Amino acid sequence: MAATIVGLARDELHRMSKQPVEALRLIAGLGVEGDAHAGLTMQHRSRWVKQGIVPNLRQVHLIQDELFAELAAKGFAIGAAQMGENVTTRGIDLLALGAGTRLRMGETAVVEITGLRNPCVQLDRLAPGLMRAVLEKGSGKTIVRKAGVMAVVAVSGDVRVGDPIAIAEEPSAYVPLAPV
């Protein structure tokens, strides 16, 4: 079965949850039209103090729908758009992709994966214990972050719920995802 987009969202304000929509316009170098996190430079308020003005590597937030089923099994009733993602996917393992992987969404839009979303305490305001639920211990002392991936828009285009999503290009060497 082909991987698909099962949810889209944006929000003009800096809130945790976004507003579900049927279609989004992705703008190369900027992000999601009408979203508070769109821009050439990083728009996340919590990071301004630590990082200052830096390139926006977090223009588009993607989460795989399979995470919501995993969270439901742990007692969390969380759905698309609630964790702040712009694009909810099904059938593609986003967390297994390497940095620099390009994904085609719909007919023309292409995003390039920049890294992992580092979950924050705002998740616990949505549901107590949610932050811990999306962080797991991996082998050794590693932490597995499951709150999705971040991307930049490489090629503009419109995307709609139900559109396909597929790997368009992979870097010549695999680069593991790190928080951005």
Distances (CA, A) of 162 to 4, 41, 45, 63, 131: 6, 30, 32, 15, 29
pLDDT of residue 46: 60
The domain of 77 spans 4-10+60-169
pLDDT of residue 25: 98
Q: What is the pLDDT along the chain (180 residues), one digit of tens a residue?
A: 799 999 999 999 988 899 999 999 999 999 999 999 999 888 766 655 666 678 899 999 999 999 999 999 999 999 999 999 999 999 999 999 999 999 999 999 999 999 999 888 889 999 999 999 999 888 888 899 999 999 999 999 999 999 999 999 999 999 999 999
Q: Is residue 123 part of a domain?
A: yes
Q: Is residue 150 part of a domain?
A: yes
Q: Is residue 44 part of a domain?
A: no
**Number of domains comprising the chain:** 1
| 3-class secondary-structure state, position 13 | coil
Q: Is residue 152 part of a domain?
A: yes
Domain harbouring 163, CATH code: 2.40.33.20
What are the two backbone dihedrals, phi and then psi, of residue 79, each rounded to the nearest 5 degrees?
-130, -175
Classify residue 13 by burial, with Cβ atoms within 10 Å: 0-12, 13-18, 19+: exposed
Cβ 22 vs Cβ 158: under 8 Å: no
Q: Is residue 140 part of a domain?
A: yes
pLDDT of residue 48: 58
Q: Is residue 174 part of a domain?
A: no
pTM of the model: 0.93
Classify residue 47 by burial, with Cβ atoms within 10 Å: 0-12, 13-18, 19+: middle
Q: Is residue 94 part of a domain?
A: yes
Q: Is residue 157 part of a domain?
A: yes
